[in-house]
Chains A and B, each alone.
Chain A
Amino acid sequence: MYGGPLMAQPRVHRFRRPPTPRPEFDGAGRDEVLLGMRFADGDGRAFERVLADYWRPVLTFSTRLLHDGEAADDVAQETFLRVWINRTEIQPGQLRAYIFRVARNLVVDETRKRRVRGRATDTTGISTTVPRPDQVVERDEQHEAIQHAVDSLPPKRREAFILAYLHELSYKEVADVLGVSVSTVKNHVASALMDLRHSLAGHAHPCD
């Protein structure tokens, strides 16, 4: 059983959005909608803000799924290029989901290409090549266990969990990103948590 005392401090999410009202825009807050409108108008400062807000989340997402810093960087740059080029097609309240949809599709394409080339991935998607210095290398035993547990999840379950829990996208946004229904997303997230709990049994943080 996964153990350890309750953390004394509340969790702080790097990717958490500011506390703005948001239910009327599919998960986006008013500020995000305004940003999306300026972005769609071709406002360079809005692009700068979008890059500042979403570069790290998108790069983290692609890095954790591809296990390759260079490929993840390519995916992230391509994501923002495509989002900027197609900005007029994006609904202002759906900018974040659009960004992650593009990134996720590029990650899927890259994974598929690697599989065809027979390079770097096995059936679980875990890198089997000797890592280069820019590749993600887990030096901490617990982080290795978490990486392995997350890698072992079925792809959509893994993506749903990462997007819903670690990036705090709404279920509707995750459904848009993955192209599935909201109820399917809920099932994926719940199943992912149960799988992770099972996989990580006995891997509590040694400092606790």
Chain B
Amino acid sequence: MMRALAARATDAERAAVEAWAAASPAHARQLRELQQMLADIDAWYRATPLRPTPDIEILMRRAERRQSRSERPPARGDG
């Protein structure tokens, strides 16, 4: 049932949950409560304060510098 609540659930999984919920008012209430809880968690997660995306040029230059350092042969006397 949990998996069927996720957006990537298959049609068959969704249908099974709907049938389960239709079987009794108590099941329907449980399903609503679970859906609400998951929606609230989703909203909490999406509300995470984030820093902006970094400049890709800066990231690529950092990657190049790191790669060139790691590829450079050790200097004489190192180690």
B37 within 8 A of A: yes
- CB-based contact B49/A48 at 8 Å: no
- CB-based contact B36/A5 at 8 Å: yes
B23 within 8 A of A: no
- CB-based contact A80/B59 at 8 Å: yes
Q: How many A-B residue pairs have CB under 8 A?
A: 118
- CB-based contact B60/A52 at 8 Å: no
Shortest Cβ gap from A168 to chain B (Å)? 6
**How far is A49 from B3 in the complex, measured between Cα atoms in Å?**
30
Interface residues of A in 141-194 (CB under 8 A from B): 142-143, 146-147, 150, 162, 164-166, 168, 170, 186, 189-190, 193
B72 within 8 A of A: no
Sort chain A's interface into a size bin. 35 or more
Shortest Cβ gap from A134 to chain B (Å)? 8
Chain B contact residues, majority secondary structure = helix
Count chain A CB atoms within 10 A of each CB in B38, B40, B67 and give the residue with the most: B40
- CB-based contact B33/A7 at 8 Å: no
Shortest Cβ gap from A42 to chain B (Å)? 10
**How far is A2 from B39 in the complex, measured between Cα atoms in Å?**
12
- CB-based contact B36/A208 at 8 Å: yes
A16 within 8 A of B: yes
Known pairs A2-B34, A13-B7, A64-B45; A51 contacts B53 (CB<8 A)? yes
- CB-based contact B66/A85 at 8 Å: yes
Shortest Cβ gap from A140 to chain B (Å)? 8
CB nearest neighbor in A for B45: A166
B24 within 8 A of A: no
Shortest Cβ gap from B29 to chain A (Å)? 8
**How far is A208 from B8 in the complex, measured between Cα atoms in Å?**
26
Shortest Cβ gap from A167 to chain B (Å)? 9
List A contacts of B34 (CB < 8 A): 2, 193, 197
- CB-based contact A44/B60 at 8 Å: yes
- CB-based contact B36/A146 at 8 Å: no
B12 within 8 A of A: no
List B contacts of A73 (CB < 8 A): 51
- CB-based contact B2/A189 at 8 Å: yes
Q: B interface vs A, CB < 8 Å?
A: 2-3, 6-8, 32-42, 44-51, 53-54, 56, 59-60, 62-63, 66-67
